[in-house]
Each structure stands twice: as C-alpha cells, then as structure tokens.
Amino acid sequence: MVRDRMKRAASAAGRSEDSVRLVAVTKGHPVEAIDAALGAGLHDLGENRVHELDEKATGHSGPDVTWHMIGHIQGRKARRVAELADLIHSIDSTKLAERLSRIAVEDGIEVAGLAQVNTSGEGSKSGFDPVEAVEQIHRIAELPGLRIQGLMTMAPYVDNDAVIVDAFAGLRDTLDRLHAITEVVGPELSMGMTNDMDIAIREGSTIVRIGTALFGERVGA
C-alpha cells in the first residue's frame, strides 16, 4: 500500500519510483515490526529515541539493514548514536554537528548525516533556522569526519496543503542554495511522513520516513 502511494506520487511528479527511498519507522512498535519490515523486503529502519535505537539495532544489524536516527539527540548520547546509526537525519544544531565531528575524528570513523531545518519555524520543532540555514550548514558540512548528505525537515501537522507545500519547497530551496555555493553537501531531501508523503514526493523528497501507514497506530509512544 505504501509502495503504491509512493509510486503514484512519483509518477504524478514525473519521477521514477526508485528515486524515493522508504525508511520504515519502527518507533513505538515491538521488535516483531522489524522482522515484518525485513520480511517484506525493506532494508531501511528508523528510530527517534536513542534507547530504542540501541535496543532494536543491537539485535538487528548487518549488511542488509540500514539504521536511521530521526529524532533529537542529546549531546551526551551523540557517541552512541554515531556508533549505531548509519544515517543521522536529525543534526539540528552547530553544537551537535561539532560534537559528532569530534567523535568521528577521535574514533577514526565517518559520520553520515542530514542537517535538519525547521522550515515551519514552529517552536516545538528543532532544526536550523531557515534564515541562517545556508550559512550554518555550509560551515558544518566542512567539519572533519562529518559527511552531510542532504537535508531533513518535518512539515507542520495541519490540514492545509499549501502550508505543507511551503515547508517542503522551502527545504528544497535551501538545498538548491547550498548547491550553488558548495559541493560538499549531498543531494538527499528527507521529507514526508504518513500524512504528507504524497506532497513531499511531489516537492522532490528522496527519502520518506513512514511509521503509521506501515505498522498502524503506535501504542503510548
């Protein structure tokens, strides 16, 4: 079902289906959800809390599983996330980026991530301020050990399509402006969840993060 929605949205936008990657967000669901996702041929799994990522990734890692960290990270947990996640979508401040860079250099690893932009400006969301995003993300993308593969955002949870379009188009515009001045930022746009994935794909999303449409409502999370 999710694949069908993705395919329809991609073809409506004149894009190929495989230009959009599906991350199955297993947060709030038991480990059986992971087995179901892997059994259905999905390889990308996402969690938004460090302890849950730790619990789940520890039992399910290997060459065919890619773990995505999609939630806010407290500084003291950054090292654990750097160890566990293959792609960190939620690099939401210069401070966190600098910390991840230090960890990468100390441990001799490369940390791959996306810079999260607060395109809607809502106080409840984290991320780089859209006004300063180009300058700040350009700077963090040059830190040693850190590879910024693109950008991530969350649209406001509203019924108004125009507001959602603005958030996603704003992220795409930020990436375009970065690409005009630097080659070190990659091409990914992580945007689109269960409620707004169709709009996100129309606006150029390359990664959608889907929980509810795959696994149903979360219990207590």
Ligand X SMILES: *Cc1c(COP(=O)(O)O)cnc(C)c1O
- Candidates 193, 199, 200, 201; binder of ligand X (CB under 6 A) is 193
Nearest approach, Cβ of residue 215 and ligand X (Å): 8
* Cα angle: 73, vertex 76, 78; to 5 degrees: 50
Does 199 bind ligand X (CB under 6 A)? Our answer is: no
How many alpha carbons fall within 13 Å on the CB side of residue 52? 20
Does 150 bind ligand X (CB under 6 A)? Our answer is: no
| Residues within window 39-78 making contact with ligand X, judged by CB under 6 A | 48, 70-71
Torsion 205-154-68-28 (CA) sign: negative
- H or E, element range at 32: helix 31-39
Q: Pick between residue 27 and residue 56 the one whose CB is nearest to ligand X.
A: 27
Does 194 bind ligand X (CB under 6 A)? Our answer is: yes
Rounded to whole angstroms, the Cα distance separating 218 from 221 reads 6
Nearest approach, Cβ of residue 145 and ligand X (Å): 24
Q: Kindly indicate which of the ranges 3-11, 53-61, 161-169, 187-195 contains the residues binding ligand X, using the contact rule CB under 6 A.
A: 187-195
Chain residue at closest Cβ approach to ligand X:
211
Rounded to whole angstroms, the Cα distance separating 167 from 162 reads 9
Does 209 bind ligand X (CB under 6 A)? Our answer is: yes
Does 117 bind ligand X (CB under 6 A)? Our answer is: no
Does 113 bind ligand X (CB under 6 A)? Our answer is: no
Q: Kindly indicate which of the ranges 55-63, 74-82, 178-186, 189-197 contains the residues binding ligand X, using the contact rule CB under 6 A.
A: 189-197
- H or E, element range at 178: helix 161-181
Instruction: Yes or no: say if 150 and 114 are a contact pair by the CB < 8 Å rule.
Output: yes
| Residues within window 155-174 making contact with ligand X, judged by CB under 6 A | none
| Distance, CA of 144 to chain centre | 21
Nearest approach, Cβ of residue 33 and ligand X (Å): 12
- Look at residues 182, 90, 93 and name the one whose alpha carbon lies nearest to residue 129: 93
Which residues are CB-contacts of 220 (< 8 A; sequence separation ≥ 6)?
28
Does 211 bind ligand X (CB under 6 A)? Our answer is: yes
The site for ligand X (CB under 6 A) is made up of 25, 27, 48, 70-71, 154, 193-195, 209-213
